[in-house]
Structure 1
Amino acid sequence: MTTTLESPVVPRHGRDLVSPELFEKVSEFCAEEYGHELPTARRIVDQALAFLKVMGDSRAFDMTPSAAVDPGWHSFVLHTKAYATWCDEQFGFFLGHEPGTTVRTRPLIGSVVNRVRAAGFHVDERLWGTAKTCNPPACCGDGDGC
């Protein structure tokens, strides 16, 4: 009988979907524009990139980022040329960010987190408001029960 050891699956990171230079540029913008420390902005942009990849690949336009992750998307989309090129390379279409009336609820955000995780990405639970230790005012502030 042969025993094989399975290697642990290492989650992907959103930051790996863009060049290191673009990741830093967008992260620095996010930090300055939204008043975050740079390490926090990097976490936000990483999660936004993973979210965008899942949404675009699956064309799941019912997805919404948490309030904490949304500034990462805003920061990237404001680098319009780089964002448009990335969208075209990744999906073959521009993934627009239209303001919606979606109310961010815990079940909706939980569904998004599950989809991002199922796609093999690392999920920063604190930024999505799904961490067990996430309690107001320290967490995302999305929806009821956060």
Structure 2
Amino acid sequence: MTVIQERPATDARTLISATLRATLASNMQAKFPELSDDQAERGIGQMLASLAAGAHSDTPLSPSPLVDDFWHAFLLHTQAYQDFCGQTLGKFVHHQPGFLDKEEHGGGKALRARTVDAIVAAGFVIDMEFWPELDLADCSQCHANCHNSPKHA
């Protein structure tokens, strides 16, 4: 008989120091004052989990727009970001925005769903508050306050 023991998911916030987390949270709250301390902390965790999952994925992954904002905040701290990539991920993860062929990779929603699956498979906690578009229908250019909508606040 084989016994399989599941281990609890890891909170990716533990991948960086409390000091760096506080700096990134402060930077995000300066840009987005509506973010609570808890949301800023959890967003950092989702960004780090996304980076860790992406660093070892054979297929393209994509952060949600909000998780991408957290990534941008980290990228501004170039030395800390480089150190994190080298020491924690084992390689540098470049930020390469662009459009992937929808036929080959799926649209944004499919990429983000694959990212969430990769985060879970890598053993990290997923916080669906930071992946809200996965609960929405595929984009139809309805301008219903989506990320690229003219109505987006």
Q: TM-score, normalised by structure 2?
A: 0.74
C-alpha displacement at 1:108, in angstroms?
Answer: 1.7
List structure 1 runs of 4+ shifted beyond 3 angstroms: 5-8, 130-134, 137-141
Higher relative contact order (CA 8 A, sep 6+): 2
Letter in 2 for 1:114: D
Taking the TM superposition and a 5 Å limit, the aligned residue runs for 1:115-126 are 115-126=118-129
Tell me the residue number matched to 1:114.
Answer: 117
Q: Percentage identity across aligned positions? A: 28
SS at match of 2:65: coil
CA contact (8 A) 1:30 1:41 kept: yes
C-alpha displacement at 1:46, in angstroms?
Answer: 0.8
Tell me the residue number matched to 1:72.
Answer: 70
CA displacement, residues 14-56 of structure 1 (integer Å, 9 cap, x when unaligned): 1010111111111111111233423222121110001101111
Tell me the residue number matched to 1:95.
Answer: 93
Counterpart pick for 2:60 among 49, 62, 70: 62
CA change 1:112–1:77 in 2 (3 A) is same
C-alpha displacement at 1:7, in angstroms?
Answer: 6.5
Tell me, in whole angstroms, the C-alpha distance in 2 between the residues paired with 1:8 and 1:127. 25
Give the alignment's Cα RMSD to 1 decimal. Answer: 3.3
Tell me the residue number matched to 1:129.
Answer: 132
Letter in 2 for 1:63: L
Q: TM-score, normalised by structure 1?
A: 0.77
CA displacement, residues 79-123 of structure 1 (integer Å, 9 cap, x when unaligned): 111001111112333211122124853222111101100111110
Tell me the residue number matched to 1:46.
Answer: 45
Unaligned runs of 5+ in 1: 142-146
Whether 1:83 aligns to 2:86 is no
CA contact (8 A) 2:113 2:134 kept: no
The count of residues paired between Structure 1 and Structure 2 equals 138
Counterpart pick for 1:31 among 18, 29, 32: 29
SS at match of 1:68: helix
Tell me the residue number matched to 1:144.
Answer: none
CA contact (8 A) 1:69 1:127 kept: yes
